[in-house]
A = this chain, B = another copy of it.
Amino acid sequence: MSRPPSRIDSVIHAVRSRISSRLDGPGSRLPSVRAQATAMGVSVSTVVEAYERLAAEGVIAARAGSGFYVAGPAAPLALAEMEPRLDRAVDPLWISRQSLETPPGHLKPGCGWMPSDWLYHDGLRRGLRRMARADSAQLVDYAGPLGLPALRQTLQRRAATLGIDASMEQLLLAESGTHAVDLICRFLLKPGDCVLVDDPSYFNYHAMLKAHQVQAIGIPYTHTGPDLQVFASALQEHAPRLYITNAGLHNPTGAVLSATTAHRLLGLAEHSELIIIEDDIFADFELRPAPRLAALDGLSRVIHVGSFSKTISAASRCGYIAARPDWIEALTDLKLATSFGGGHLAAHLMQIALTDSGYRRHMQAVRTRLADARKHTLRQVQKLGITPWLQPDAGLFLWCQLPDGRDASAVARQCLREGVVVAPGNAFSQSQRAADYVRFNVSQCQDPKIWQVLGKALQQHS
């Protein structure tokens, strides 16, 4: 297994990379044997052998007389193949991969999380040391079906400060915030259902809804929440089962639901039997809490979810769901059936971190640091003629319009070539109406190289 890679391996690797980077989708024709051999400076027989091995694995297939093609989708749920291909730069999965696989040294103003030294590593270290001395059972046993009671109690208190009254039986731990939303989607949706999302909204919702084979409808987001007129028409026209949104700070815009919009929105939902998932992952970034739909609604049709990946750690993941008791009951069954007991250790670490006296100070410092970074980023983008859609007073994001209708995907591709990961607007937009927008994460915008590379890309695509 440790033999040095042969020439055949190099060809195999090259073909695989093109497929995995989505440069070659299913059905695309591979370069001819001769062309590949010339391009890679290897013999024809090397390429023949490489293609044959890939064909034996089913990665590519030969068609008599016409060469080799990338094999078709292996299964109904090959996400990448489920709908006409988006521009690669706005494919949500491609963006996730770019952010998660960034080579060292790349800058990522487009990614969705803070640099690692901004997170609560000190608290986590303390937690790890404490857990190293804990009872064996805490280190090795499965959690109960609902998850660690002490953490659920902490979450109950935190919810209460937002006006959300949840009993202990209404709180279920999940593996992560994403897992929480996915579990609820599995519980509520069937293929072909219709789901409302904000437009723009967190791009991974789009990928997840695609996995559930449901139709997502984007509702334009305003400075005070979704556009209620469009929302009401969508209820009429599509009879959606679910609406997924952020609680508090909205991703990617940084806007916040106003009390009036919240009340009217909930009224519309009640009238149409619409269920709402409110994803509260940015709660601890707020300077003052915005209204929560779950609070107004009393956890009747609103399901409240959250996690600590953005504030404490994304390496020790733990999410939660607050909902009506009978739904929690069914969600617990579904969690057991599909992931059995949860990660108890991660729950212990989150419980220690959240109740650590340092956590409040940590988040205070983060909020101050973000305020400075936001000012800095605003100055830089404005110098380049980029206009913020809103100047939020909290959170990670600035949602910005490029000058003169520049194509953000083209700009993002150009920046990536120079080692800067930019998040183009249409990755967030169900309707693909944000072609000249980008999302900046102000905590990842410190390096001056970002503005040089971006400035150059803007010039090239003017």
Given A128-B132, A337-B208, does the pair A314, B142 have CB atoms closer than 8 Å? yes
Q: Which residues of B contact A121 (CB under 8 A)?
A: 136, 139-140
**Taking the nearest CB of chain B, how far is it from the CB of A209, in angstroms?**
9
Q: Which residues of B contact A165 (CB under 8 A)?
A: 1
Could you tell me which A residues sit within 8 Å of B by CB distance? 1, 16, 19-20, 57-59, 71, 73-80, 92-93, 96-97, 100-101, 113, 116-117, 119-121, 124-125, 128-129, 131-133, 135-145, 156-157, 160, 165, 169, 175-176, 178-179, 182, 186-191, 204, 207-208, 210-211, 300, 309, 312-317, 324-327, 329-330, 333-334, 336-346, 348-349
Is A80 within 8 A of B211, CB to CB? no
Is A124 within 8 A of B139, CB to CB? yes
- 25 of the cross-chain contacts (CB-CB < 8 Å) are A20-B325, A59-B325, A77-B186, A77-B330, A77-B334, A79-B330, A79-B334, A79-B337, A96-B145, A97-B145, A100-B144, A119-B140, A121-B136, A140-B313, A141-B314, A175-B339, A179-B338, A191-B191, A204-B336, A313-B345, A314-B341, A314-B344, A315-B344, A316-B343, A316-B344
**Taking the nearest CB of chain B, how far is it from the CB of A285, in angstroms?**
16
Query: What is the total number of copies of this protein in its complex?
Result: 2
What is the interface of chain A mostly: helix, strand, loop, or mixed? helix
> Cα distance A345–B315 when bound, in Å?
5
Besides the known contacts A116-B135, A176-B340, 7 further A-B residue pairs in the complex with CB atoms under 8 A apart: A20-B329, A58-B300, A58-B324, A77-B186, A93-B336, A128-B139, A208-B338
> Cα distance A77–B329 when bound, in Å?
12
Nearest B-chain residue to A317, judged by Cβ: B343
Of A117, A144, A345, which is in contact with the most chain B CB atoms at under 10 Å from its CB?
A345
Q: Which residues of B contact A312 (CB under 8 A)?
A: 140
Nearest B-chain residue to A135, judged by Cβ: B116
> Cα distance A99–B191 when bound, in Å?
33
Of A136, A208, A337, which is in contact with the most chain B CB atoms at under 10 Å from its CB?
A337
Of A140, A208, A324, which is in contact with the most chain B CB atoms at under 10 Å from its CB?
A140
Is A76 within 8 A of B138, CB to CB? no
Given A188-B77, A334-B211, A337-B208, does the pair A16, B132 have CB atoms closer than 8 Å? no
